[in-house]
């Protein structure tokens, strides 16, 4: 097992007070904590995201779209699918995912230019335990007052459609070309109970479970090889190395880990 190096990223929309076990350095607003992808699971990236303001309305292409447009050749990145598990939310916090109804490309462009696209999204009220899967081509935005774990394809291709007047580049042509103007499928949003083992995602690019206690046979069969582990409660061990909440590590397999009988952790593997 290798404990993954952490990259702490300051953002103007970040927080100066973070949920436990994290602490923001004095005078800094931390927006993201990244775990450097390991060589045995290079296709996945794990982040914590903390917001005090709304993030841009944005969209990501699929692998096929990134390749067809030349993005993959130019940047080295493919498309991006991702999922979010909310770990803390202030009163009134929301996530914008999908539209309230069908939206065509011309309407989406006009709405992006005049800002009304913000009001066309479905802003889901959220609390700790809410989970969203965000397929490529899904228009989305993270609202203010949210802390979440993001599991994603290791890609940095993001097309901003609207940014609340901030002086950052928009990508309307590329973004609208890959955006689906539709409602998020209800099956892609659920609430995770406080206790128990729950499947988070099982798709084309990654599988993820929130596991409580010692993994059963079904979980063991779902994770036959290299994986990532994210402790949420209790300690995960390999030999003399200890992982605690706030850490993330790679392991060659479940048998390499000593997992807490009275704790919780997230397992992730590439599909």
Give me the catalytic one of 7, 29, 109, 160: 160
Q: Is 160 a catalytic residue?
A: yes
Question: What string of DSSP letters covers 118-162?
Answer: HHHEEEEE--TTEEEEE-TTB-EEE-TTEEEEEEEES----EEEE
Output Rg (C-alpha) for the chain, integer angstroms: 19
Extract the tokens encoding 51.
């917001």
* Core vs surface per residue 45-80: b (16+ CB within 10 A) or e: bbbbbbbbbbbbbbbbbbbebbeeeebbeeeebbbb
Quote the distance between the C-alpha of residue 229 and its chain's center. 15
Q: Which residues contact 173 (CB under 8 A, 6 or more apart)?
A: none
Extract the tokens encoding 82.
């991702």
Residues annotated as catalytic (active site), given as ranges: 160
């Amino acid at each position: 097992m290798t404990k993954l190096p952490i990259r702490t990223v300051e953002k103007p929309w970040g927080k100066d007070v973070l949920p436990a076990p994290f602490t923001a350095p004095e005078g800094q607003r931390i927006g993201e904590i990244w775990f450097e992808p390991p060589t045995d699971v290079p296709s996945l990236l794990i982040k914590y995201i903390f917001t005090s303001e709304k993030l841009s309305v944005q969209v990501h292409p699929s692998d096929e779209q990134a390749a067809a447009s030349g993005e993959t050749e130019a940047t080295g990145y493919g498309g991006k699918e991702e999922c979010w598990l909310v770990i803390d939310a202030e009163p009134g916090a929301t996530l914008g995912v999908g539209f309230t109804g069908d939206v065509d490309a011309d309407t989406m462009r006009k709405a992006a230019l005049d800002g009304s696209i913000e009001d066309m999204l479905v802003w889901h009220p959220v609390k700790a335990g809410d989970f969203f899967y965000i397929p490529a081509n899904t228009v989305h935005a993270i609202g203010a007052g949210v802390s979440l774990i993001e599991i994603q394809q290791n890609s940095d291709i993001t097309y901003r459609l609207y940014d609340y007047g901030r002086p950052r580049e928009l990508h309307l042509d590329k973004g609208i070309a890959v955006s689906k103007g539709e409602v998020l499928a209800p099956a892609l949003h659920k609430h995770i109970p406080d206790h128990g083992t729950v499947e988070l995602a099982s798709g084309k690019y990654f599988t993820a479970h929130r596991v409580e206690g010692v993994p059963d046979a079904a979980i063991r069969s779902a994770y036959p090889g290299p994986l990532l582990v994210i402790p949420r409660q209790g300690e995960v061990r390999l030999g003399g190395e200890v992982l605690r909440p706030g850490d993330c590590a790679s392991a060659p397999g479940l048998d390499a880990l000593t997992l807490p009988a009275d704790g919780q952790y997230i397992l992730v593997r590439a599909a």
